[in-house]
């Protein structure tokens, strides 16, 4: 291996490592968002210790902002990763990860533009369900596909079940990768356009937030 080949191998290794870290971060953030939503009752209990109205408002703003920012980062990572070239390099659990990103993206639009932060609204309920579905799908994909039984284990313990799950990794099943891309990719961009239209209606036309 000459110097140029070694440099390329090092760069490729760093690229794959970085992309893997990003996908893992998106999965962790989806779990954090679900935890923040499910712990809303606990967070409201903590509000009772805030005696100043300003402190209470800052607390509520911080909770919502942290939740939405975490959700936004997870969606942006998923949007950037959902392309054929990256699928061919890293073992993204397909079709789990892009489908989970799609659920998170819709939930984010509902929370930001359609009153999805207000408990008791249909938008809040739908966004919460979508986030929970995304988390479950992500965790199943991470545990049983992305980090499934490795080749070393399968050599001594052959299993049709684990071999099938191992074959769901994007870097081992390019046909599935392309199929998932052509299904989830356009839908993700459709949600992106939907969010842009909703944002224009709110910021440019001055329309009030809607409820679903």
Q: Which residues contact 51 (CB under 8 A, 6 or more apart)?
A: none
pTM score > 0.85 for this model? yes
Cα separation, 87 vs 171, whole angstroms: 6
Look up residue 122 and give its two tokens: 């249909």
Residue-by-residue pLDDT tens, the chain, 212 positions: 677 777 777 887 888 888 999 999 999 999 999 999 988 877 777 777 666 666 677 877 888 899 999 999 999 999 999 988 888 888 888 889 999 999 999 999 999 999 888 888 999 999 999 999 999 999 999 999 888 877 777 778 888 888 888 889 898 888 898 999 999 999 999 999 999 999 888 887 776 555 44
In the 8-state DSSP scheme, what is residue 39?
T
Helix segments in the chain, DSSP class H: 3-38, 40-47, 53-81, 84-87, 96-113, 122-141, 151-156, 160-166, 174-203
Of the candidates 88, 89, 54, 52, the one whose C-alpha atom is nearest the C-alpha of residue 178 is: 88
């Amino acid at each position: 291996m000459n110097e140029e080949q070694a440099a390329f191998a090092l760069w490729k290794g760093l690229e794959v490592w970085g992309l893997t870290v990003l996908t893992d971060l998106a999965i962790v953030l989806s779990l954090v968002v679900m935890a923040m939503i499910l712990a809303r009752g606990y967070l409201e209990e903590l509000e009772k210790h805030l005696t100043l109205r300003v402190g209470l408002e800052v607390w509520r703003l911080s909770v919502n902002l942290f939740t939405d920012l975490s959700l936004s980062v997870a969606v942006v990572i998923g949007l950037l990763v959902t392309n054929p070239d990256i699928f061919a390099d890293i073992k993204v659990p397909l079709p789990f990860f892009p489908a989970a990103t799609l659920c998170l993206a819709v939930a984010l639009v509902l929370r930001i533009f359609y009153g999805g932060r207000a408990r008791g609204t249909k938008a809040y309920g739908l966004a919460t369900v979508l986030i929970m579905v995304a988390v479950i799908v992500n965790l199943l994909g991470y545990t049983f596909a992305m980090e499934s039984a490795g080749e070393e284990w399968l050599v001594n313990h052959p299993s049709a079940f684990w071999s099938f799950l191992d074959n769901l990794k994007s870097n081992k099943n390019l046909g599935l990768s392309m199929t998932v891309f052509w299904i989830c990719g356009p839908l993700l961009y459709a949600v992106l356009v939907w969010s842009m239209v909703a944002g224009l209606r709110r910021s440019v036309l001055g329309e009030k937030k809607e409820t679903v």
